[in-house]
Amino acid sequence: MGYRVAVVGATGNVGRELFNILEEVNFPVDKIHAIASRKSIGVEVSFGEKILKCEDLEQFDFSTVDIVLMSAGGSVSKAWAEKIGAAGPVVIDNSSQWRMDPDVPLIVPEVNPDAIEGFRKKNIIANPNCTTAGLVVALKPLHDIAKIKRIVVSTYQSVSGTGKEAMDELWNQTKEVFVLGASEPKKYPKQIAFNVIPQCDVFLDDGSGDTKEERKMSDETHKILDPNIKVNCTSVRVPVFVGHGESVNIEFESAIDDDEAREALREAEGVVVIDKREDGGYATPKDIQGEFPVFVSRIRKDPTVDHGLSLWVVSDNLRKGAALNAVQIAQLLHERGLIGKVPA
């Protein structure tokens, strides 16, 4: 027996990956619906061999499904997720709208699976930001050995994190630059082709100078892993289509050496270590596109603090950073028998 599933935001980068991953992991699906805004009604998306036609978000009867995977942006989630949850199905939401709501669990199954039990209050479970998902999967096995005090992270985020139009902007500017000169940026504040931009998402108006993306990294790490970890993040957009990299400096409370860390990471669920200390002996975004795990490379001592390690983390932002994590949450609900069963 399978579930009745709806994917809201079916035509987006993450929406399409949700269908792919549900199929790849063989999630038990009886009936599946592609839901989108009015302008995409009738647009076709594929689910394995099947072609689905998008149905209208405004007209769809959500009481007829068990699980809703939502990736339609914060404003759609704000308007719809609670209403959908109240109609019966559990909503797994990929936007930032509900992540910090105390009544909504924010889940990375390898890190805080037990927190899922609190989802009934709103019937919503939040999926973390793409960079947080990769980061906390890599940090958790190390935090279990020697508590982490502080991290300094610099991200290298691909344009697919901003959506399909941003991917087109990189593609078009790259082609144009040697002919007529790159066209004016639309999705980004500066040219992204042959450049890097030290801004992801908008600046906060709290006087900190941080961007919203940088704040998400610290708030979400606190909620998922440990509120006591100090997080300093600089988020940078790079001209890469898929795959987010993160350079991470970690300061621990007690001693941990690089061999111990490498061993713990090798054994950790959802992590692959590629760390050969030779030319090319590390993972790059291009190597890991389409892969499920979080890849960790360049594990080494940071001699500038008492107990420090540096590492390089890279993951597919559309998969572990979004759609895969959402489907893993659905699998966790399934394994625990939590879908469709309302406690007495």
* Selected range binding ligand 2RA among 25-33, 70-78, 98-106, 154-162, rule: CB under 6 A: 154-162
- By CB under 6 A, is residue 13 in contact with ligand 2RA? no
* Selected range binding ligand 2RA among 24-32, 73-81, 83-91, 155-163, rule: CB under 6 A: 155-163
Give the footprint of ligand 2RA on residues 302-321 (CB under 6 A): 317
Q: How many residues bind ligand 2RA (CB under 6 A)?
A: 8
> Does the active-site annotation cover 130?
yes
- By CB under 6 A, is residue 161 in contact with ligand 2RA? yes
Least distance to ligand 2RA, CB of residue 307, Å = 31
- By CB under 6 A, is residue 129 in contact with ligand 2RA? yes
- By CB under 6 A, is residue 221 in contact with ligand 2RA? no
Q: Which is nearer to ligand 2RA, 161 or 308 (CB)?
A: 161
* Residue of 149, 95, 100, 93 lying closest to 125 (CA atoms): 93
Q: Which is nearer to ligand 2RA, 86 or 202 (CB)?
A: 202
Q: Which residues are annotated as a binding site for phosphate?
A: 99
Least distance to ligand 2RA, CB of residue 331, Å = 21
Q: At residue 131, what is the residue type?
A: T
Q: Which is nearer to ligand 2RA, 130 or 268 (CB)?
A: 130
- By CB under 6 A, is residue 162 in contact with ligand 2RA? yes
Residue nearest to ligand 2RA (CB): 161
Query: Which position among 213, 246, 275, 316 is part of the footprint of ligand 2RA (CB under 6 A)?
Result: 213
> Does the active-site annotation cover 200?
no
Q: Which is nearer to ligand 2RA, 200 or 296 (CB)?
A: 200
- By CB under 6 A, is residue 77 in contact with ligand 2RA? no
- By CB under 6 A, is residue 246 in contact with ligand 2RA? no
Query: Which position among 34, 130, 153, 314 is part of the footprint of ligand 2RA (CB under 6 A)?
Result: 130
Strand pairing partners for 55?
Answer: 35
Q: Which is nearer to ligand 2RA, 123 or 317 (CB)?
A: 317
Give the footprint of ligand 2RA on residues 170-209 (CB under 6 A): 200
**What's the distance, Cα to Cα, between the start and end of the chain in Å?**
23
Three-state SS for the chain is CCEEEEEECCCCHHHHHHHHHHHHCCCCEEEEEEEECHHHCCCEEEECCEEEECEECCCCCHHHCCEEEECCCHHHHHHHHHHHHHCCCEEEECCCCCCCCCCCCECCCCCCHHHHHHHHHCCEEECCCHHHHHHHHHHHHHHHHCCEEEEEEEEEECHHHHCHHHHHHHHHHHHHCCCCCCCCCCCCCCCCCCCCECCCCCECCCCCCCEHHHHHHHHHHHHHCCCCCEEEEEEEECCCCCCEEEEEEEEECCCCCHHHHHHHHHHCCCEEECCCCCCCCCCCHHHHCCCCCEEEEEEEECCCCCCEEEEEEEECCCHHHHHHHHHHHHHHHHHCCCCCCCCC
**Count of CB atoms within 10 A of residue 209's CB?**
8
Pick the catalytic residue: 54, 200, 233, 244?
244
* Selected range binding ligand 2RA among 79-87, 116-124, 157-165, 272-280, rule: CB under 6 A: 157-165
Question: What is the C-alpha separation between 146 and 149, in angstroms, rounded?
Answer: 9
Query: Which position among 71, 157, 173, 297 is part of the footprint of ligand 2RA (CB under 6 A)?
Result: 157
Q: Is 206 exposed, middle or buried (0-12, 13-18, 19+ CB in 10 A)?
A: exposed
Pick the catalytic residue: 54, 130, 200, 233?
130
Q: Which pair of structure tokens corresponds to residue 33? A: 């619906």
* Site for ligand 2RA, rule CB under 6 A: 129-130, 157, 161-162, 200, 213, 317
Q: Which residues are catalytic?
A: 130, 244
